[in-house]
């Protein structure tokens, strides 16, 4: 008689395994970095956000590094940017990875395929959320 192995595809929630540094109280004089996941228009979003961060918060420099592709691993993040459609997935994945304390900036979906003006509006959404997280107005 053959043996059948039944697997139960239920993940286990981990205790916080990613140490999330606190956000600085002020961005003035700091360098802000973005890791580009290669999704369409993310480069434009980062460019727009960088300009807004320099103008409104006195950020000294913005560093933008592009991954080889979306599935390439990156260093542990200190924050995430996602669209409304993927917000629940992002929250679920952060919980599964023990990273529930990561700041999540949620912009209107979609980002890819949008015209530059629409990307600019999403950059403003993200920077306004970041200002709220920092306690700025």
For residue range 2-51, list pLDDT tens digits in order.
899 888 888 776 565 778 888 999 999 999 999 999 999 999 999 999 99
Phi-psi region of 10 (alpha: psi -120 to 50; beta: other; left: phi over 0): beta
Q: Is it the case that residue 60 has pLDDT exceeding 70?
A: yes
Beta bridge partners of 82: 106
pLDDT band at 81 (very low <50, low <70, confident <90, very high): very high
Rounded Cα gap, residues 75 and 21, in angstroms? 14
What's the mean pLDDT in 43-71? 96
Q: pLDDT value at position 15?
A: 66
Phi-psi region of 66 (alpha: psi -120 to 50; beta: other; left: phi over 0): beta
Residues in the chain: 137
Q: pLDDT value at position 115?
A: 98
- In the chain, % helix, strand, coil (3-state, to 5) comes to 35, 15, 50
Q: Is it the case that residue 136 has pLDDT exceeding 90?
A: no
CB-based contact 127:52 (threshold 8 Å): yes
Share of the chain above pLDDT 70, in %: 96
User: In this structure, what token pair is assigned to residue 24?
Assistant: 């600085």
Beta bridge partners of 35: 65
Q: pLDDT value at position 9?
A: 80
Q: pLDDT value at position 95?
A: 86
């Amino acid at each position: 008689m053959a043996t059948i192995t039944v697997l139960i595809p239920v993940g286990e929630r981990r205790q916080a395994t990613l140490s999330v540094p606190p956000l600085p109280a002020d961005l003035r004089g700091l360098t802000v970095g973005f890791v580009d996941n290669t999704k369409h228009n993310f480069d434009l979003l980062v460019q727009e956000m960088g300009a807004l961060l320099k103008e409104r918060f006195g950020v000294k420099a913005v560093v933008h590094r592009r991954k080889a592709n979306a599935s390439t691993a990156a260093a542990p993040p200190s924050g995430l940017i996602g669209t409304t459609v993927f917000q629940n997935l992002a929250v679920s994945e952060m919980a599964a990875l023990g990273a529930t304390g990561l700041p999540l900036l949620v912009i209107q979906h979609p980002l890819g395929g949008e015209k530059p003006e629409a990307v600019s509006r999403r950059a403003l959404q993200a920077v306004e959320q970041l200002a709220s997280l920092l306690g700025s107005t």
